[in-house]
Amino acid sequence: FHIPMAGGKELLIVLAILSSVSSRHRRKFPRPWLEDPEENEIPGASGGEVCDSNDCRQISSLFSESMNLSADPCKNFYEFSCGNWVAKKKIPPYEPSWSHYRVFYYTLQQRIRDTLQSEPSPEDILPVRQAKKWFRSCMDSETREARGIRPLESIIMQNGGWPMIMDAEEWNDDDLSWQEIEANYARLMGEFTFYDIIPSRQMRDDDSQGKILIATPDIPLMKNIPVENRNYTAGAIYEQTLRSVVQLFIDHTKADVSEEQLENDITNLLKFEKSISEAFKGKPWKSKDTAGEEDLDDDSSLDSLVEWWNARAKSMKEPEAQIDWRSVIQQFFDITNTKINGDVTISISEKRYFLLLRRILRSTDKRTIVNYIHWKFVSRYMGYTTKKTRGNNFQFG
């Protein structure tokens, strides 16, 4: 993914590349007990098998060290199986809980970091060489400080501009639809604004066809300011963060934005996002808003999803409520050259949310929707620009 920079240089976002590094690491250390189980058969045992590889011995040691063999499993099985883990492994102050999975996660992150920090080798495959190059670019704090928010500004302008940081006559409502802007950001970030697409597998032995889960999305700064603690009123932390970022861009571009227009844009954006968050938080809505939830099975085809959505969106009169699900899902799989057919299984995690989403989009003006899409992009990457954005006036640290 390319982020144009000043002087002809480019900074490339490497989130997808890191996954390939992780996969390469897993391939580098194959598990022989999976590849050739016959080597691990127990002589004289009736069909029994045990893993005797170094990997399995290490995993076995980790679990056995967590056990408290002095405890009576009949009285307290948890203490028997996990007692030593609780006694010896304290929860780090930066974690809400601590488990083997978190240990494995941080171990993997450290190995990825070690790989990225190592010198390029002729034996490295191209994605790894590129990842190392881009990692060094990302860690160049002096260059990042000098570039400031120009990389983000460049991407924003390539996508029609962020209305709330532009002169009133500069933004053209007819340039790009919000659907086109979202699609462009999805290609860049690998995620959509109003939904999340997750490939998974059928859990039935007699069916190997893939399944696609359509889930509710994250909202901006979801980890920094959780939904349950978020206040959308004027003067609240979230509103102040949004206002500070917008003002930073306005000062940078020297745009002539009136105070009245800025207040309207911020108010409308917060109102819009609040509706989105309430749609998947479980806020009570009128029954007519969610009518039709039962008309789509939990597992349906892509064709059925399209029919279900279009039956509730009058495409000619409600352009903002239109979502071309075939195009959206196909775009997600284009990177793997996978053709998605209309009979692929689709599972929607929260049908109620998507019914409400259609209604929310239909009742919101294009300017506000576009403002929100750009804000979600900016909030995702603002913390990677300058030290100032990680300060107390912002929430990107």
What is the structure's pLDDT at 157? 95
Residue with tokens 């917060």: 270
Picking from 133-137, 169-173, 317-321, 330-334, which range would have the lowest pLDDT averaged per residue? Answer: 317-321
What is the structure's pLDDT at 30? 38
What is the structure's pLDDT at 26? 37
Which own/partner pairs from 100-109 qualify as long-range (CB within 8 Å, at least 24 positions apart)? Answer: 100/62, 100/63, 100/66, 108/22, 108/25
Sequence letter at residue 200: S
Q: Measuring CA to CA, how many Å separate 359 from each of 197, 285, 326, 363?
A: 21, 11, 20, 6
CB atoms within 10 A of CB 226: 10
Residue with tokens 């008309």: 295
Element (DSSP H or E) covering residue 188:
helix 178-189
Q: Give one word for 342, left, alpha or beta, with left for phi > 0 and alpha for psi -120 to 50.
A: alpha
Kindly give, in sequence order, each residue whose CB lies less than 8 Å from that of residue 110, ignoring residues fewer than 6 positions away: none
Q: Which of 98, 101, 110 is nearest to 18 (CA)?
A: 110
- pLDDT tens digits for 182-228? 999 999 988 999 999 998 764 344 444 678 999 999 999 888 777 76
What is the structure's pLDDT at 289? 54
What is the structure's pLDDT at 248? 93
**CA 350/CA 281 separation, integer angstroms:** 11
What is the structure's pLDDT at 216? 92
- Classify domain 150-282+295-390 by CATH number: 1.10.1380.10
Q: Measuring CA to CA, how many Å separate 153 from each of 158, 242, 304, 375?
A: 9, 16, 40, 12
- Residue 186 sits at the vertex; the CA angle it makes with 181 and 192, to the nearest 5 degrees, is 95
What is the structure's pLDDT at 395? 57
Tokens (6 digits) for 79: 């203490």
pLDDT value at 396 more than 80 = no
Tokens (6 digits) for 364: 């919101």
Element (DSSP H or E) covering residue 267:
helix 259-281
**CA 59/CA 375 separation, integer angstroms:** 44
Mean pLDDT of the residues in the chain: 80
Tokens (6 digits) for 290: 């969610």
What is the structure's pLDDT at 209? 60
Give the start-end residues of each E strand in 195-272. 196-201, 210-215
pLDDT value at 35 more than 70 = no
Kindly give, in sequence order, each residue whose CB lies less than 8 Å from that of residue 278, ignoring residues fewer than 6 positions away: none
Q: Which of 236, 213, 226 is nearest to 300 (CA)?
A: 213
- pLDDT tens digits for 227-265? 766 788 877 889 999 999 999 999 999 999 999 999 999
Q: Which residues pair with 213 in a beta bridge?
A: 198, 347
**CA 106/CA 18 separation, integer angstroms:** 14
pLDDT value at 267 more than 70 = yes
pLDDT value at 163 more than 90 = yes
**CA 223/CA 395 separation, integer angstroms:** 10
pLDDT value at 10 more than 70 = no
* 149 vs 1, more confident: 149
For 340, how many CA atoms within 13 A lie in the half-sphere containing its CB? Answer: 22
- pLDDT tens digits for 101-135? 888 899 999 999 999 999 989 999 999 999 999 89
pLDDT value at 13 more than 50 = no
CB 249 within 8 A of CB 330: no
- pLDDT tens digits for 283-323? 555 555 555 555 677 788 899 998 888 876 554 467 778 89
Give the confidence band of 90 by pLDDT, cuts at 50, 70, 90: confident
What is the structure's pLDDT at 14? 36
Residue 251: strand, helix, or coil:
helix
